[in-house]
A and B are shown apart, each in its own frame.
Chain A
Amino acid sequence: MRHSRRNRILLTGGVLAGLLGLLTINAGAMHIAEGYLPVNWCLLWGAVCIPFVAAGFLSIKRRIDAAPRAKILLAMCGAFAFVLSALKLPSFNGSCSHPTGVGLGAILFGPLTMAVLGLIVLLFQALLLAHGGLTTLGANTFSMAIAGPIVSWLVYWLLRKAKAPASVAVFAAAALGDLFTYVVTALQLGLVNGGMVKFLAIFAVTQVPLAIAEGLLTVVIFNVLEKYSRAQLQELRVL
Chain B
Amino acid sequence: MKVWQKNLILILLVIAIAAIPLWMLPDAEFGGADGAAAEAVEELNPGYEPWFEPILEPASGEVESLLFALQAAIGAGIVGFVLGRVTKSDKSKGEN
Q: Which residues of A contact B (CB under 8 A)?
A: 10, 14, 17-18, 20-21, 24-36, 38-39, 72-73, 75-76, 78-92, 94-97, 126-131, 133-135, 182, 185, 189, 193-195, 198-199, 202-203, 206-207, 209-210, 212-213, 216-217, 219-221, 223-225, 227-231
Contact = CB atoms under 8 A, between A and B. Distances in A.
A44 to B, nearest CB: 16
Contact of A95 (B30, B58, B81): B30
8 contacts: A79-B82, A82-B71, A86-B72, A91-B21, A130-B57, A135-B52, A202-B40, A212-B17
Interface residues of B, number: 60
Nearest to A31: B34
A209 B7 contact: no
B56 A127 contact: yes
B21 A220 contact: no
A28 to B, nearest CB: 5
Contact of B50 (A33, A81, A84, A219): A33
B contact patch SS: helix
Given A83-B75, A94-B25, A225-B86, A213 B54 contact: no
Contacts, number: 216
A51 B34 CA distance: 27
A31 B33 CA distance: 9
Contacts of B71: 21, 24-26, 82-83, 85-86
A35 B54 CA distance: 8
Contacts of A27: 58, 64, 67-68
B43 to A, nearest CB: 8
Contact of B68 (A36, A80, A86, A128): A86
A36 B24 CA distance: 33
Contact of A76 (B24, B33, B79): B79
Contacts of A185: 37
Contact of B72 (A10, A78, A82, A133): A82
B75 A82 contact: yes
B83 A221 contact: yes
B94 interface: no
A73 B78 CA distance: 10
Contact of B52 (A24, A31, A133): A133
A96 B31 contact: yes
Contacts of A182: 33
B30 to A, nearest CB: 5
Most buried by A among B20, B50, B51, B52: B52
Interface in B2-26: 3, 6-7, 10-11, 13-14, 17-18, 20-22, 24-25
Interface string B24-42: 1100111111101110110
A21 B75 contact: yes
Contacts of B67: 24, 27, 128-129
